[in-house]
Structure 1
Amino acid sequence: MTLNRIKWTLFIVPAVVIGLFETIRHTLLQYVLPLEIGNWVTAVIDAFVIALVSRTLLQQFSNSQKELSEERQAHAILKERERLARALHDQIAQSIFYSGVQIKTARTRAIELGAQELINVLDDVTMSLREIDENLRQSIFNLKAQTSSFGNLQDRIEAYLAKSLTRTGLTFEAEFPHTFPTITTSEQVQLFGILQEAITNIVKHACAKHVVVTLETPPSHLNQWLFKVQDDGVGFDTTSANISGHGLEIMAARARDIGGELSVTSGPMGTTVSVYRSGSGDGESFV
Structure 2
Amino acid sequence: MTYKQIKWTILFIPTITVGLWEYVRHQFLLPYISMDLGNWLTPLIVYLVSVTLLNKLFHMLERIRRELEQERTAKFALEARENLAKELHDGIAQSLFLLSVKIDRLEKSDEQQSQLQEIYNIRKTVHEVNRYVRQAISNLRYEDTAVKLMNLNEALDVEVQKIAKEVYVDIDVFWELQDEMLTPKEKVELLACIREAVLNIEKHANASKGWVQGEGDKQNWRVTIKDNGQGFEGNPFQLTDRYGLNIMKERAEEMNWELKLIRDNHHTHIMISKRENEVGCEVNHKMNI
TM-score (norm 1): 0.50
Of structures 1 and 2, the one scoring higher in RCO (CA 8 A, sep 6+) is: 1
Bigger Rg over Cα: 2
TM-score (norm 2): 0.50
